[in-house]
Amino acid sequence: MNLFYLVGIGGAVGFLSGLFGVGGGFLLTPLLIFSGVPSSVAVSSVTGQVVAASTSGALSYWRRGGIDFHLALYLILSSLIGVSGGVATFSALRAAGQLDLVISVGYLLLLGTVGTLMLSEAVRALLKRRAGLVVRERLPNQHTWMHGLPFRIRFKRSKLYISVVPVIVIGMGIGFVGSLLGVGGGFILVPALVYLLRVPGSVVVGTTLLQMVAMMAATTLLQAMQSQSVDVLLSFCLMVGGTIGAQFGASAGQYLRGDQLRFLLALLVLAIAIRFGLTLVLAPADPFSVATIGASGVI
């Protein structure tokens, strides 16, 4: 695979992730799979890129004090359990020949749901703006039933006194899905923290980024040890391209309104979901395929 092509993909996805303010794993992994990289190599090499992308973000939030370390610790520890489950499932599925199927179905469900939600939200916001209404975000300040569960802990930085059970469940779920599909999971974790746990907006992004760094670092390490499908060259090309691309994306994003951005991102996410759906439904060009059993994948 061409080095410049990889840096180019990394740059393009970095641009998009800077533009939309998302991690980029859920765009990068599909793009690599669609351009012919084996899905096992794509998933485990993108995790390295997510570490790089999240690190610079997490550092800048840390400097501004935008991280709840106490909450992040609980999320990280629980996500590590999810990660080890996810990596083990990944290896088992690959041996059984069902990894591609599960990745396609996973992306279809995940991106289909997220894309539909985002699109309907963005269209509503755009219509309201056209009608001349002032869009005001509803402040999430009420408690839900989840906060009343046992084992309550005080998270000072987030000004929360909530049960630790939903925190652990969310962390484990993100760890499992993230390591299986090669996504940082920021686009699930941020809404989950905001709407389910009522984590204030001042710390939610920073905490998510820190959690993503730790979780994806653990995934990279486990994948390198267990399936040996991490390709450091591929990963590094994506990191370099992504880091540079994100800068241009972020500055380009200032010229677009938030609801327009979300509308475009929703369309992109849905397009990828549909593409995965088509690979599941359309007859393959060749029903037979050949694979190597055991460790392989490094270029």
Task: Please report, as ranges, the residues that interact with another protein according to CB under 8 A.
Answer: 48-49, 51-57, 59-60, 97-98, 100-101, 213, 217, 220-225, 228, 230, 232-233, 235-236, 239-240, 243-244, 246-247, 250, 279-284, 286-296, 298
Nearer to another protein, 38 or 166 (CB): 38
Q: Least distance (Å) from another protein to the CB of residue 186?
A: 14
Q: What residue type is 235 in one-letter code?
A: S
Give which of 170, 235, 251 is closest to 7, Cα–Cα.
235
Nearer to another protein, 12 or 162 (CB): 12
Nearer to another protein, 162 or 234 (CB): 234
Q: Least distance (Å) from another protein to the CB of residue 230?
A: 6
Q: Least distance (Å) from another protein to the CB of residue 294?
A: 6
Cα 157 to its chain centre, rounded Å, is 24
Query: 228: phi > 0 → left, psi -120 to 50 → alpha, else beta; which?
Result: left
Strand partners, 211: none
Q: Least distance (Å) from another protein to the CB of residue 183?
A: 15
Q: Least distance (Å) from another protein to the CB of residue 172?
A: 21
Nearer to another protein, 6 or 122 (CB): 6
Could you give the 3-state DSSP secondary structure of residue 271?
Answer: helix
Q: Least distance (Å) from another protein to the CB of residue 45?
A: 9
Give which of 234, 268, 246 is closest to 55, Cα–Cα.
246
Measured distance CA(55)–CA(178) in Å, rounded: 17
Terminal alpha carbon distance of the chain? 9
Nearer to another protein, 1 or 261 (CB): 1
List CB contacts of 33: < 8 A, sequence separation 6 or more. 39, 42, 103
Nearer to another protein, 158 or 229 (CB): 229
